[in-house]
Chains A and B, each alone.
Chain A
Amino acid sequence: MDVKELYRQFQLVFEKFYDPLCKYAFSLVKEREVCEDVVQEVFARIWENRKDLIASESIRFYLFTAVRNNCLTHLSREQRMPVYSLSDMDPEDEAALPAEPAGSEPVNYRALLEKGIEQLPPKCKEVFMLSRMGDLSNQEIADSLGISIKTVNNQLWKAVKLLKAFAKGVHFWWGVIILYFFQGS
C-alpha cells in the first residue's frame, strides 16, 4: 500500500473513532479541549511512529488504551485525582431503586437513559464506555484496564442493571408526581 492510500485509510480510522474516543476521554477528564488534544496526539503518534497499526486488527484496542493512559497521565500531571460528583460516590450497590412491573415503554426513555449513563459509578461507567464506544470485547477491556475478565463481566452487568433500575426508578417517581398533581386538581 502506498503512503497516500495508507493516509486515506488513516483518515477513515480517525473519522470513525475520533468522536467515540473523545467521549471516552471525557468520561475520565472533564475538559473537552484536553480530551480533543489527547485524542489528536494519539493519532499523530500513530501516523508518526506506528503506521503498521493502521490496517491492524488491534487498532481499536491500541487507541482506547492509549487515550486512557494519556488521560490518566494528564490527571496525574495536574496532580489531580479524577473528580466525580457526589452522586457518583454513592455506595455502588444502591441499585435498589423502586422498581415498576414491566409495562409500557416510558415516553422519555432516551433522556432518562442518558442521565443514567452520566451517573454510573466511575469504574462501571468506564467499562461500559469501553464496551460501547470502543466495541471492545470484555477480554480486551480486561487487558486494557489490567483487571480480570470476571470483574469486567460484573461491572458491565452492573452498568446495565443500574441503568435499568435508574430508568424505571425515575419513571416510577414521575408517576408519583403526576398522580399527585392529578389528585390535587
Chain B
Amino acid sequence: MELSEHIQTIIEKHFQGRESAEERRLLEEWRGQHPDHENEFRELMLLWTESGHILNEPAFDTAGAWKRLDERLNGKKKLRVAFSFRTLAAAAVMAGVLLLAGWLLFQRDHRNLQMAVAKTGNVELSLPDGSKVTLRKGSSLQYPTVFKGEERKVVLNGDAFFDVKADDNQPFRIHTERSVIQVLGTSFLVHTGNNEDRVVVASGKVLFTDKKEPDQHCVLSARQEALLGNKGFEQQNVNDSNYLSWQTGVLQFERAGLDRVAKDLSDHFGVPVLLDTTLEARAGELTVTASFREQPLEQVLGEIAALTGLQYRRQNDTVIIFQP
C-alpha cells in the first residue's frame, strides 16, 4: 500500500513516540478510514517493535569493555600495545570529531582561552583585536580573551575565513595541527582537512609554514592558494570563488573541468564526490558551466547530470559520477 508522505512521516514519528497530539489525532482518523489502513498500521508497528527486540539483543561485552575503559582512565594498568597505537591514531582524528559536538559554545579554561565551536551553522566571530572570522559549520577556533605578547595566536580545526586587522607589531598566527599561517593584515581562507591544509588568499599576503619543517614555507598573495599535504606545498592561482561557497552559498562553474567540479562539490557539501575510473581519465575534456545558490546536493547533481549526460549513484556516503 502506498501511503501519502504526510501519513508516512506521522507513522515514523509514532514509531519513535515523537508525534504531536494533532498528529496522533490525524493518525487515528486515518486508521479509522479503512480496515486496510488499520491492517497496514498494525503490520508496520509489529515490524518496528520486533526489529527493535532483535536490535536490542546484546552483541558486545559491555561489562568487559567498561573494565578496560575504567582501568585506562584511572591508570591502573598499562594499555595493550596494539590498543595504544589505535588510541593514538584515533586521538589524532578525534580532534576533528569533537567539533561536531557543540552548539555555539564558549569554554574558558584556566589559561584564559576560549573556544568557539560552530555546530549548527557558520558563525561570525569578532576577535579581541577586531579581526573578523567566519567559522564554518563543524569547525572550531581557540583564541585568548586578550592577545598578549609578541603574537596573536589562534588554533583552528576545520575551515574558517579570516579578515585580519593589520598590526605589524603583533603578527597574527593561525596554528593548525600541520602548519602555521602568519599574516600581517589580510583576508583569506584556511581549510584544515585530515590529509591537507589549504589556504586561499583573497587580499594581502600570507606566510604559510609547515609545522614539522619550519624551513618549508610559501608566501601567498591575493588570488593564490596553496595546499600542504604529505608531499609538501602545492601552489596555484585561484580562478573561481568556490572556495568561499560555504560562506556565500554560491557555487559557480565556468567551463570547469569535471574533476574540479567533483572536488568543489566534495568541499562544499562535505560528501565525497568521485568520478568513476573510466570517467576520471577524460575528466579534463568534460566541462561544466552552471551556478547554484544554496541548493541541496541532490539537486545540484541532478542538474549536472542533465547538463553533461552523465549519471551518478550513491554508495554509502560517497557519490560516484559515471558515464552511463
Contacts and interface: CB of A to CB of B under 8 A. Distances in A.
B148 interface: no
B60 A19 contact: yes
B68 A40 contact: yes
A113 B91 CA distance: 37
A109 B54 CA distance: 11
B237 interface: no
A114 B54 contact: yes
B97 A66 contact: yes
Interface in A119-166: 122-123, 126, 129, 131-133, 135, 137-138, 143-146, 148, 151, 153, 156-157, 160, 163-164
A39 B73 CA distance: 14
A44 B8 CA distance: 39
Contacts of B96: 69, 73
B68 A23 contact: no
Contact of B98 (A39, A43, A49, A122): A49
B62 A15 contact: yes
A113 B51 contact: yes
Interface string B242-273: 00000000000000000000000000011100
Given A137-B16, A163-B47, A76 B194 contact: yes
Nearest to B83: A37
B126 interface: no
B281 interface: no
A136 to B, nearest CB: 9
Given A70-B90, A126-B316, A153 B12 contact: yes
A42 to B, nearest CB: 8
Contacts of B43: 102, 164
Contact of B97 (A69, A76, A160): A69
**Interface size classification for chain A:** 35 or more
A62 interface: yes
Given A23-B59, A102-B39, A84 B316 contact: yes
A50 B94 CA distance: 12
Contact of B316 (A82, A102, A129, A163): A82
A172 interface: no
B72 interface: yes
A51 B70 CA distance: 15
A81 interface: yes
A113 B101 contact: no
A132 B314 CA distance: 23
Nearest to B70: A11
A74 B94 CA distance: 11
A44 B69 contact: yes
A70 B93 contact: yes
Contact of A47 (B18, B62, B73): B73
A167 B47 contact: yes
A117 B298 CA distance: 26
Nearest to B73: A47
Q: SS class of chain A's interface: helix, strand, loop or mixed?
A: helix
Contacts of A49: 98
A53 B90 contact: no
Given A37-B86, A109-B50, A133-B55, A18 B316 contact: no
Interface string A102-117: 1001000110011001
The interface centre, meaning the residue of B5, B83, B270, B317 with most chain A CB atoms within 10 A of its CB, is B317
A49 B65 CA distance: 20
A50 B101 contact: yes
Interface string A68-111: 01101110110001101000000000000000001001000110
Given A132-B55, A138-B13, 16 more contacts: A14-B69, A18-B66, A35-B60, A36-B65, A37-B90, A38-B90, A40-B72, A49-B98, A62-B100, A70-B90, A73-B96, A122-B316, A138-B12, A144-B100, A164-B43, A164-B47
12 contacts: A44-B69, A44-B87, A69-B96, A70-B93, A73-B194, A74-B90, A105-B46, A117-B54, A123-B316, A131-B16, A156-B12, A157-B8
**5 tightest A-B CB contacts, nearest first:** A22-B60, A41-B90, A73-B93, A122-B316, A69-B97
Interface of A: 11, 14-15, 18-20, 22-23, 26, 32, 34-45, 47-50, 53, 58, 62, 65-66, 69-70, 72-74, 76-77, 81-82, 84, 102, 105, 109-110, 113-114, 117, 122-123, 126, 129, 131-133, 135, 137-138, 143-146, 148, 151, 153, 156-157, 160, 163-164, 167
